[in-house]
Structure formats: C-alpha cells, structure tokens
Structure 1
Amino acid sequence: MSLHPERLPSSLILVGAGKMGGSMLEGWLDVGMNPSGVTVIDPRPSEEMTRLCAEKGIALNPSDQPSGPDVLVLAVKPQMLETAAPALNGYLGPQTLIISILAGKTIGDLTGRLPAASAVVRAMPNLPASIGRGATGAAANAQVSETQRLMADALLASNGIVEWLPSEDLIDAVTAVSGSGPAYVFHLVECLAEAGAAAGLPPDLAQRLARATVTGAGELLFRSDLPPATLRQNVTSPGGTTAAALEILMRDPDGLKDLMREAVAAAKRRAGELAG
C-alpha cells in the first residue's frame, strides 16, 4: 500500500457513515487526515460514529450546510440517491471531486442526478477495507484532474490496495471478483470445515482448522511475491495427499476453475442488471 498523506484533501464531506463509510473515515484519520476538515452527514449515525466525531472534533450533521469541499464521498445506500440528490447537489462546488462507492450507480447516474457535479470517481471497495486490507477498483471520468486522481488514490489507499481501471465498464467485473470475492472465501471455509467433519473430525475442530488454514494461507499470499500457482506447487508433493486432492479440484471440466468462472460470470451479469 502506498500512502501519501500530503495528497489528502483539506476539506471533505462524508455522506453516509455506515460500516463502509465509517471504515473509510477511520482509515483517513489513521493516515493523517485533519479531522477539523471533515464533515459527516448521516441522519442516523451510530453511537460509535457519534462518539468518534465528538472525540476527534469532526462536524456531524452541522446546522449550517457545508458547501464547496475538495471532496464529497458518497457512501449512502444506492436506493437513497434519488431522494438525497437535491441536498447533495447543494454541497458541491465547482472544484469538488465526488467519490462514489454506490453499488450499481454509474458515473452517468450521478452526473444526471447532480447537475453541479463535474469530476467523479466511481470506486468499488470490499469488506476487508474495514480492517485496512481492502481491494478497491476505481474509475474516473474525463473531468478528474491528475491532482484529484492522486487525492482520490490517497483516500482510497488508506483502506487497502487501489487498482485504477482504464474504463468504468470494468467495474462490474471488479464487483464480481473482489467486491463479492470475500463471500466466496468465507464459503470455502464453510465447505472445508464440512468436508473435515465428513472425514471424521469433530465439527468444532474442523471449523477451527479450516478457518486457520484459509487465513494463514491468505496471509502467506499477502506477504509473498510468488505467484499463487508457485505457492500451490510448493505445497504439492508429487503423488502425495495434496496432489490427490488437487486432482479433484483441478479436473477438466467441472473443476474449481470452471466453477469459479461460472460464479464470477453470474456475479458480473447480476451487477450489470442492477446497474441497468
């Protein structure tokens, strides 16, 4: 992760401080964002968010409407965009960069509902962003300057890696791989634990072993520069137990590769349907 606190904006409005919005805010503060430059807009903030704002001196739902920040981050539920648009439009200044994490809402949707909008970055973070280990795909429209892109990168990178996409059209594929991907991994743990129980392990022991195996393998992958295929080969002795299992997982057709392609294609297709 490449962090550049000097690129953080001096003024920012966060609209929506739920789990993802709140995690992003904590990430910005952790890398040096000045809390006095942050305003949080959320009609029903959690007790934790209310306490955080009070402790850090962050303006929470101020009576005087803020306007013209360097950045406006949209983290509300996508279905709220329509009703919230008039108020959101009032926050925007001519140089305000919008960063949206609204699933299924295109840059065209945003500029269509927010006449004052110009520079827009659409981002798709994932759940591990809540612990600073997220994977975010981001796309910018032509109005985003290089300075604004670097500013967006600094904000998004506070929660994990950021991959800039050459086209917004790739967002649906990002959603299918990294956006939904944590659920695939969690299900892998479920399946591995169930298989362990079926092999004779007590279910609670199988659950602990499966969980530790997947989190440990993930951490090894995170720390290593080796390709996943090389790491797999390093674990696999010819003719051994791992090789026997991989013969099942890697069979062609109907192995894990084909199943994962089918799953990602289904998620991408559904993302397109929701955006349409």
Structure 2
Amino acid sequence: METILLIGAGRMGGAMLRGWINAMGGGFHFIALDPHAGPMLTDIEDEPVPGSRFTHVAEARDLPPDLRPKVVVLATKPQLINQAIADLRKYIVSETVLVSVAAGVSTQSINAAASTGAAIVRVMPNIGALVGNSVSAGFASPKTTQSQKTLVEKLFASVGQMTWLDKEEDMHLVTAVSGSGPAYYFAFCEAMIAAAEAEGLSAEVARALAIGTVTSAGQLLAREPDPSHLRETVTSPNGTTAAGLAALLSNGAFARLSHDAIRAAAKRSQELS
C-alpha cells in the first residue's frame, strides 16, 4: 500500500484529500498532518472510507517511525514550507516526490530546504477543488520520473483537470489566470448584481439571475470549450446582447482590464517568490 502524506489540511488541502479518498480508493494510505482538526478533516474522519485507510496526526512526531511516503504534498502557507520540510526530512527517501501547492515557492527553494535531492513538483490548483472541479497546472523538476509524474497527475485529476508546464516561470501566469481567476468571475458577478439593483431589480432577483447566469455559462463552456462560438451563438445581430456587448467591449476597455488583472497578479506572484 502506497502512502500519500498531506501537510496542511485547510480548505484546499482538505478538498484535495476528500477527492483523493473518493477517487483513488484502495491501494493508498492517506495521512493528513495538521495541528488543527478543522471542519473538512472532521467530516472526513466521520465518514467511512471504503477501500483505503486514512489517518490524521497533529504533529510530525506522531508519524510512524518507519514511514516512507510515496508522495508528500505540501499544502501549508508559503512561509511555513521550510519548517515543514525540516520536520519531515527523515521520512523523505529516494522514491519520495515532494509536491508543493504553495504559491511562489520555487523548486530550487524546496530542494535547498530538503537537502535530499528528491524529485519535486509544483502544482497550482484552484478553488474549484472544493467542488471537485479544480483546474491545476504543474511543473516537474528534472529528477522527477515518469511514474512519479503519473501518480501526481492521478492525484490532481481526481479533483478536476491537470496539465503540465515546460517552464517553471510559467507558474506565475498560471497563478494569475487559474489560481486567481475565480475571483475575477466572482467580481464580475458582483458587478452584475449591483448594476441590476441600480436599474431597479430587487436584490433577491438580481442575485438569483446573476449567479444563475454565471453558473450556466460555466456549464456550457465545460460542454463546449469555445467561448467565441458560444458568444456568437447567444448574440443576435442588432439585438439586446449585441447592444450590451458593444458597451462592455467599447474601445477595448474590457480586454485591457482583463490583461491588466492578469499582468498584476503575475507580477505579484513574482514578487512573492
């Protein structure tokens, strides 16, 4: 039985853990190391886990002394990564792959902290993991074997989509697009609600319509991932949608704002690394 060790089981870590347990089943032993048994962990502990085993420990010293994890997933805050690795160094063996989901922490920094020459993978999932629909992108260090990449991909595909990058520096753009991206859509939804209320709809109706619209648009994109075609499909010549789009896209303002948002988020990711 292969052991997957998760360090940090907050909202993101807990969501990934639930997806792994549900999707990967037997053959894996999942250990969550987190000093706090938050709501996500409590829910998992209260549920039967068919075909696999799950353990929660509060401190590294509570781990089995003979532990040799196949994967160690670092889901702590970036500033806690070095200490987390130091606490786990004796458990990291040649076949262990270290997987970091902490924004801005490079493979070089992780390698320096580990001092073991272990394989290292950086992955940026997003908040969609909470509903089993994350978009994740990863970069693997040269020492990572194909079998290790396959296992990591299996982990993150169990909570959504997983894709690989050729260049580590592209992680900054991944952070800006998919990591931060859900917040952009939430902000646009908020703006639609505020505009509808300002034009006379009740808060309840405005909220229901705006949220329902964003949700259904996402489902359509999942079915047919061609936003240009979908936009054209819903836009009749000289109709209401055409008028609204003309205002939204006037003078390229919307495209510039979108570009500015992604550029600003990527720059901040670089600053934090």
Query: TM-score scaled by structure 2?
Result: 0.92
Preserved CA contact (<8 Å) 1:68 1:94: no
Matched, 1:14 2:12: no
Q: CA deviation at 1:32?
A: 2.6
Q: Per-residue deviation at 1:154?
A: 0.3
1:6 aligned partner: none
Give yes or no for contact 2:10–2:40 (8 Å, CA) kept in 1. no
Amino acid at match of 1:244: A
Q: Identify the residue that residue 99 of structure 2 maps to in structure 1.
A: 99
Aligned to 1:203: 203
In structure 1, the residue matched to 2:193 is 193
Q: Distance in 2 between matches of 1:132 and 1:92?
A: 29
- Within a 5 Å distance, the mapping from 1:1-276 to structure 2 comes to 10-34=2-26, 37-50=29-42, 52-53=44-45, 55-56=48-49, 57-61=53-57, 62=62, 64-65=64-65, 67-225=67-225, 227-254=226-253, 256-275=254-273
Q: What's the TM-score once normalised by structure 1's chain length?
A: 0.91
1:48 CA drift (Å): 4.3
Pair 66,14 (structure 1): closer, same or farther in 2 beyond 3 Å:
farther
Corresponding letter in the other structure for 2:267: R
Aligned-pair distance for 1:52? 2.3
Which deviations, in whole Å up to 9, do the C-alpha atoms of 1:177-227 show, x marking residues without a partner? 0000000000111000111112211122111110101111111111124x1
Within 1, Cα distance between the matches of 2:122 and 2:28?
A: 25
Deviates more, 1:122-131 or 1:67-76: 67-76
Q: Is contact 2:14-2:40 (8 Å) kept?
A: no
Displacement of 1:35: 7.5
Say which is worse superposed, 115-124 or 133-142, in terms of deviation. 115-124
Q: CA deviation at 1:66?
A: 5.1
Cα–Cα, structure 1 residues 41 and 65, in superposed 2: closer, same or farther, change >3 Å? farther
Q: Percent identity?
A: 36
Q: Secondary structure at the match of 1:68?
A: coil
**How far 1:46 moved relative to its partner?**
1.6
Please, which runs of 5 or more residues in structure 1 have no aligned partner?
Answer: 1-8
Q: CA deviation at 1:51?
A: 5.2
1:25-56 CA distances to partner (integer Å, 9 max, x unpaired)?
A: 11111113338622221111225414524643
Ranges in structure 2 where 5+ consecutive residues have no aligned partner: none
Task: Indicate the larger mover: 161-170 or 75-84.
Answer: 75-84
Q: Secondary structure at the match of 1:252?
A: helix
Instruction: Verify the 8 A CA contact 2:139 2:168 in the aligned structure 1.
Output: yes
